[in-house]
Structure 1
């Protein structure tokens, strides 16, 4: 597992004033723009180029991951298998001008890794800003800014995360990333799954318009396909800007593979025409680890643990690699002890980590919603688009079997562990369902609020993927309000739902409280979309309950 070490140099003071951070972000952001597509000389057409940005990720007190992709020749496009081996020099410095080089080296980019480069740098100082860049064949990449994690015993007064999920290239632009990058006050960018989508062009655009077409145009199945799709995403300039300014911590969900994926297949996979599922999943995982600044903790998985001083530890889950097939709606299999969403080893790892935690807060990066949700009270005109959005049958929908609701034995064991061991201040951070939620997590929903809750959950909406108003072709916050009222009435632990908006969250963590500020975009189909704050909810230390906050954290 990825665990921090304590053998690091003394930390430099963390800048606390937002205007200082924002100035640094704007300075770094200016360097994100490609240098004339990799060079300004007459040889630019044949010189290696950095067309897919740079990124850092998985910060530790003494290290972090650096990432880029070099295009050594014009034909060496993602997924092509073309292009010669190319030496890439990386440098990490303590200053923007690179006068104080702290670490450097040379790695070889090759077609075997789709010309991606990933370096796990160690021996760094804790809680310290660094700048990094890459050079190949005389061409220098944009400059990125990153920061290591604090020491394990550091007493932090604040940690701030940008939180997002569900980014469908075809459905809209990634303005959410631009607005997160422009803040200048984020310690980490946390992505909770569905970084890419596997569908063929036009298949998952409820609004009826492909804003910008996928590459390749067909559904992705092979290693070359997944590499090509990842490569297309990494050309987005808003995505590049955010990655270059803030270290990324990411987990996958189903669409990095195929809709409603499980260990042995997926709803959107037909073996007779699309081949062996294990081969498809292996290809998808290989491309993911090539193209993402993620340090695999166990071969082929993303579950791992990061720590931020004594303030918080972050337990990151993989709820696709080990899960049993989703139960059929209405069957008795949902409660079966023979079915799992985590797998035995991962559930034991999570329970052990929660028990051993000595931080104020325990954050869980969680692909699918753990709070129970009953949908049976929804009117038919909302039930059908919601079921379609979730990839479920349109009739008789009582629960979403792709969520923890479909794996109640594992959920009961995990929540029982929190309850029985008195583990408080546990916050689930979730994406997946293209809507925003704030909820208490009750051990027994039927007896809530009398029985109380054992954790809380904040769900962020989609960056661009379709939600209810898109499927209904109506203005947001109109017909969906009927569904919101029905959901909240039938699920008393759910304090707020927004079924329509696209956007992101900003999670502010202090010793006193964890607060999620929800931001929405004006129009996902416009590259210049604006953003505005819409709601905030928080959980105070020791409460295990969410409450409304009336302003975002400044």
Structure 2
């Protein structure tokens, strides 16, 4: 039987329905919405969708080209999948808003719009063809997490995690812990690529917002959250990241669904949590990580950003690619969002990111491409140790 109770009714029923559970026998009340919902989810009888089969990326692969992108609306044109495949990437990273399955006012705690969006994606032949031919790694953002701009307080996040891990066939390691972060090192010694896929949703503290005003701000409502206890990654993920950065790798790609470097807007990003970004930069400096490049999405526009960080001898790059098929602009939107850290334009047209690694020259070429494969902009980073 499939349940679809409103949350307020669900919380009441879950407190009374199963008196044999230890928390109920002891009289202890649930300490969070997530805890209150667990008995409900345990009773759900739902067959969750799964993505088409995906070829494995061999651990000894010498990576010379991969691609990445974000923001796929499952109802829109999908020609970009064939265009990316024509570039012959050895892997593809889909780094958030992989479907638009947000909650609706009528949704139950089983988030039916999320599973419906994944089923719709499965019906798209271009995605099916791509998925069966190019190895993929994934991260999530808000629209496939389950609610716009949601973080750790999202009541349905444990079910959203189950849907995500089932659909994408997450590893046993990912399934064994809260959140969906993971890391992988590919390639032989001297040509090792590390992919670090962060989870900026499951543990994230609440966003701080401006007071209401009319008309509203054109570049978002959020302001920096300066609470010293506020977090993006949460303690367990921070500890894990520190361990991952100690592993030997020749170049590292740190994937964040939201932008890391820029302060030019008040939408979501690491700019919302300055102390967490300082901690990230400090960790890279402490570990001597001079070979990291951030890959980010979310913004429905693409561009390149560069900054310096204490303890690092090389600049940090943030390569934003968004959206694959759901862009909001018609070209370069730099005038709307000026940013001294951005090295070129801010392209509100459908795009994907391509990374080419020249191991002999120790150079990483980063290319932002249109959905027809043509080049928008290119930057080169000397990021290989």
TM-score by length of 2: 0.76
Corresponding residue pairs, total? 326
Greater gyration radius: 1
In structure 1, C-alpha distance between the alignment counterparts of 2:184 and 2:358, rounded to whole Å: 17
Query: Could you list the per-position Cα deviations for residues 436-478 of structure 1 after superposition, in whole angstroms to 9, with x for gaps in the alignment?
Result: 121113337xxxxxx97652111102012242x2xxxxxx237
In structure 2, C-alpha distance between the alignment counterparts of 1:79 and 1:253, rounded to whole Å: 25
Distance 1:284 1:453, change over 3 A: same
In structure 1, C-alpha distance between the alignment counterparts of 2:292 and 2:199, rounded to whole Å: 18
| 1:287 maps to 2:154 | no
Q: Which residue of 2 aligns with 1:59?
A: none
Structure-to-structure mapping, 1:420-499, within 5 angstroms:
420-443=286-309, 454-467=315-328, 469=329, 476-477=330-331, 480-483=333-336, 487-488=338-339, 491=340, 493-499=341-347
Query: Which SS does the other structure have where 1:409 is aligned?
Result: helix
In structure 2, C-alpha distance between the alignment counterparts of 1:112 and 1:325, rounded to whole Å: 32
In structure 1, C-alpha distance between the alignment counterparts of 2:354 and 2:224, rounded to whole Å: 37
Query: Shift of residue 149 of structure 1?
Result: 2.0
Q: Which residue of 2 aligns with 1:150?
A: 59
Does the 8 A contact of 2:203 with 2:234 survive in 1? yes
| 1:519 maps to 2:369 | yes
Does the 8 A contact of 2:290 with 2:313 survive in 1? no
Does the 8 A contact of 2:101 with 2:143 survive in 1? yes
Q: Which residue of 2 aligns with 1:192?
A: 95
TM-score by length of 1: 0.54
Distance 1:417 1:284, change over 3 A: closer
In structure 1, C-alpha distance between the alignment counterparts of 2:316 and 2:55, rounded to whole Å: 31
RMSD: 3.1
> Which residue of 149, 152, 156 maps to 1:260?
149
Does the 8 A contact of 1:181 with 1:241 survive in 2? no
Does the 8 A contact of 1:113 with 1:290 survive in 2? no
Structure-to-structure mapping, 1:205-354, within 5 angstroms:
222-256=110-144, 257-265=146-154, 277=155, 280-295=156-171, 297=174, 298-309=176-187, 310=189, 311-329=192-210, 334-354=225-245
Larger relative strand fraction: 1
In structure 1, C-alpha distance between the alignment counterparts of 2:369 and 2:186, rounded to whole Å: 25
Query: Shift of residue 195 of structure 1?
Result: 0.7
Query: Which SS does the other structure have where 1:245 is aligned?
Result: coil
Gaps of 5+ in 2: 5-43, 212-221
Query: Which SS does the other structure have where 1:362 is aligned?
Result: strand
Distance 1:232 1:79, change over 3 A: farther
Distance 1:452 1:360, change over 3 A: closer
Query: Which SS does the other structure have where 1:146 is aligned?
Result: coil
